[in-house]
Amino acid sequence: MRVGVLFAIVSGAGCGGAQAGPSVPVWERPGLYGAVRPEMGPPQPGDPARDFELPAAAGGSFRLGSLRGSWVVLHFTASWCPYCDAEVDHLGSLAEAYASRNVKVVLIGVEEDAAHWSEYTKARIPGSVLALSDDRGDVAKTYAPPRAQPSFGDRAQVMLDSTLVVDPAGTIRLFLFPDSKHFDPTFAAVRRELDQLTASWPKEPRPMTPEAVVSIEVRTPPRVQPGDRGEVLVALQIAAGYHVMSDRPTEPSYIPTRIHFDDVQDLAWKEPRYPEATPFRLSDRSIATFQGNASVSVPFEVAAGAGTGERVLAGMVRYQACTVASCLFPVTRRFEATMAVGGAER
């Protein structure tokens, strides 16, 4: 019965044999005839991959979001499916061949009995493949486009033997349904796509220390007089490919950028004025960041009876630097500058 259901899925995939080319839809390219069509509805390539958490066959649980920064090949399977079983060893080979390109292979068993799935994974699934259990099909249902195989009452079974490629930013780049007419258990077409996608993906900046990512320059007025008002600029230069969270981060768990000056005799510090945040797009949302040059203005007032002399302005900046794929540890860095109070103007 279930084998017949799967055959209905694969035989309903597109066939055709148009030559590949930049203007040819993905489902008309060799090996990709089972690609999702726009008329099927979301999710489609370009949409964020919906996050989920499932039990792992090896123990514990796994969250898709934990692989942000890696390429992910997501494959939905069932132990009773002969097509799927024929692919298992090749998924292991794919995982091993592309490990150096930061590609992870995740296999999801759909609506499997827990005990049987555990036995199957131990006997059949290569160690290079992360096997998960979607025993109620809840995750599979969220990935099934609403108008793909509309006759299927169980929407989880729409996803059997389907494959998605998710980029390091968490965006779907390829979505294939099974195609029995051109069935290839070696995933040759998926490998070709991975070759192109990983080659064209922006290279991750070479890892840097948090201190190397952000340079700090403190600019003070050359001289102020008792009773004056002024400001000190703390200029942050953030390395290309990185950002720091703004002073008002989008999520409570994010580390805000903060500037603070120590108390100084005869000076009263006011609230820092931070620049406007720059939106940084993640796969499914926008976060508030500082990028490139970000200068923070810290106003002050000099007491009317301030004594003449040089003042040491000591303070700190706290920030967390991130790339599109990962974040460095937050750091607190000290800085100093000097400013003359009173005396002749130069």
Q: Strands 130-134, 103-110: parallel, antiparallel or unpaired by DSSP?
A: parallel
For the chain, the domain total comes to 2
Residue that terminates a domain, selected from 172, 200, 228: 200
How confident is the model at residue 283, as a pLDDT?
59
Q: Residues 38, 148: one domain?
A: yes
Asked whether residue 21 carries a pLDDT value surpassing 60, the answer given is no
Query: 346 lies in a domain?
Result: no
Q: Residues 106, 17: one domain?
A: yes
Highest mean pLDDT among 54-68, 202-216, 288-302: 288-302
Q: Residues 139, 228: one domain?
A: no
Query: Which stretch of 61-70, 105-114, 121-130, 294-303 has the lowest confidence by average pLDDT?
Result: 61-70
Q: Residues 304, 245: one domain?
A: yes
Q: Residues 176, 230: one domain?
A: no
pTM attached to this predicted model: 0.59
How confident is the model at residue 284, as a pLDDT?
62
Q: Residues 68, 192: one domain?
A: yes
Query: 205 lies in a domain?
Result: no
Q: Residues 154, 264: one domain?
A: no
Collapsed DSSP state (helix, strand, coil) of residue 191: helix
Asked whether residue 202 carries a pLDDT value surpassing 90, the answer given is no
Query: Which stretch of 17-21, 155-159, 311-315 has the lowest confidence by average pLDDT?
Result: 17-21
Highest mean pLDDT among 56-60, 162-166, 179-183: 162-166
How confident is the model at residue 15, as a pLDDT?
35
Asked whether residue 193 carries a pLDDT value surpassing 60, the answer given is yes
Q: What is the mean pLDDT of residues 121-142?
A: 94
Q: What is the residue-averaged pLDDT of the chain?
A: 88
Q: Which domain holds residue 193?
A: 2-200
Asked whether residue 97 carries a pLDDT value surpassing 80, the answer given is yes
Residue that terminates a domain, selected from 181, 200, 219: 200
Residue that terminates a domain, selected from 158, 182, 200: 200
How confident is the model at residue 207, as a pLDDT?
66
Per residue in 228-252, pLDDT tens? 999 999 999 998 888 999 999 988 8
Q: Residues 238, 320: one domain?
A: yes
Asked whether residue 19 carries a pLDDT value surpassing 50, the answer given is no
Per residue in 55-65, pLDDT tens? 998 888 888 88
Q: Residues 337, 295: one domain?
A: yes
Query: 216 lies in a domain?
Result: yes
